[in-house]
């Protein structure tokens, strides 16, 4: 899976930086976040890279999950460094 695939996956679940102030928007936790992680696991057919990556680059506050990197460039860099 390349970074474009990862970006499209995250965007398809509603995580992106297309907000007025350019920060990550958020999604409901655990409802949407849990389904997104389940799909990440299924896409990897047991390879935990995407599943674990999502856990590393997200955080949850007040029942909402958001991307912790400040831009897609940071997300891409993190993906390229993940194994």
3-52 per-position pLDDT tens digit:
999 999 999 999 999 999 999 999 999 999 999 999 999 998 867 999 99
Edge-to-edge, what's the strand order for the sheet holding 58-61?
A: 26-28, 64-67, 58-61
Tell me the two tokens of residue 45.
């057919």
Question: Domain-by-domain residue ranges, the chain?
Answer: 1-19+44-83
Whether the full predicted model's pTM is greater than 0.75, yes or no, is yes
The partner residues of 66 in beta bridges, in order of sequence, read 26, 59
């Amino acid at each position: 899976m390349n970074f474009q695939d990862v970006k499209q996956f995250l965007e398809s679940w509603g995580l992106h930086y297309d907000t007025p102030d350019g920060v990550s928007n958020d999604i409901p936790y655990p409802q949407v976040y849990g389904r997104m992680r389940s799909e990440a696991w299924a896409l990897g057919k047991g390879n935990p890279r995407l599943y674990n990556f999502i856990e590393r680059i997200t955080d949850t506050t007040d029942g909402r999950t958001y991307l912790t990197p400040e831009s897609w460039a940071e997300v891409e860099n993190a993906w390229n460094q993940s194994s």
